[in-house]
């Protein structure tokens, strides 16, 4: 699984990256988590508000921070 956190470096973006890494580690999920900060790359996903979460090339969340449970559900399914 390939997980990308899209964000230019704001606090919410950093928080989403941290939360995502914690969920992947705590659940033992085989995934690569990366951070995309380049605005051009972010716009290629059609995202205009960050933070955003992309799982295997599909935008599953944008413009807000999810709850821990919501994030877990997004990653597991």
Q: What are 5-24's pLDDT values in tens digits?
A: 999 989 999 999 999 999 99
Closest CA to 21 of 48, 53, 47, 46: 53
Question: Concatenated DSSP letters for 4-72?
Answer: EEE-SS-HHHHHHHHHHHHHHHHHT---EEEEE--HHHHHHTT--SS-EEEETTEEEEESSPPPHHHHH
- The pairing of beta strand 58-62 with beta strand 32-36: unpaired
pLDDT at 77 over 90: no
CATH architecture for the domain at 2-76: 3-Layer(aba) Sandwich (3.40)
- 10-60 pLDDT tens trace: 999 999 999 999 999 999 999 999 999 999 999 999 999 999 999 999 999
């Amino acid at each position: 699984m390939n997980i990308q956190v899209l964000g230019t470096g704001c606090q919410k973006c950093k928080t989403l990256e941290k939360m995502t890494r914690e969920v992947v580690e705590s659940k033992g999920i085989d995934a690569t988590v990366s951070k995309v900060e380049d605005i051009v790359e972010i716009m290629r996903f059609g995202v205009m508000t960050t933070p955003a979460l992309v799982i295997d090339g599909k935008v599953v969340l944008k413009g807000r921070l999810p709850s821990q449970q919501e994030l877990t559900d997004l990653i597991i399914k």
